[in-house]
Structure 1
């Protein structure tokens, strides 16, 4: 269980914990909803530091968000390798971003599935 997660009641706790473990072991239930999109873990997709880009704004943003999340009972942010970024799509005219269908943070799986903003054309 993650911080501040709890199960209400005592019936079927073992089965519930087993199912949560299954959901969190693989991203298939999330990525299969996007069969034409290629996903990469966020650190692998961005490679900002390797490209010599300034990581300062990202680090500043994370430092700013941590106390806000902590006030809501979330002591840790989602590890970046559990954020899957759609970087390419084989469908002509596919466009990624905030309104791309069926993406976002998935609490039960403790994953996030997002797409790069802009054209997702392969190649």
Structure 2
């Protein structure tokens, strides 16, 4: 093989090696760009999830405060009902010895009480 042919073979191998390295570099650059885009998308999704979680926490806190108010109101109504029940139970029979007549009188009084605003 002549020196010119050896030089051409070496030049050909160098060009082929450079082309292979170029293609490898382009592939690595594309992978890196894709990775950066995926990272940015993941960060945006995580940020949106975090914001939504904070919104849900605020809503849960608001609903908890509303529930406490409703529970307090229900407790107040229940205490009133309990007091009325204790009064009814502590009241002696309207007709001693006749449970049915006494019950009828209590029911009539209860119905009259419900009719009032």
TM-score, normalised to structure 1, is 0.22
Structure with the largest fraction of strand: 1
User: Which structure has more RCO (C-alpha within 8 Å, separation ≥ 6)?
Assistant: 1
Structure with the largest fraction of helix: 2
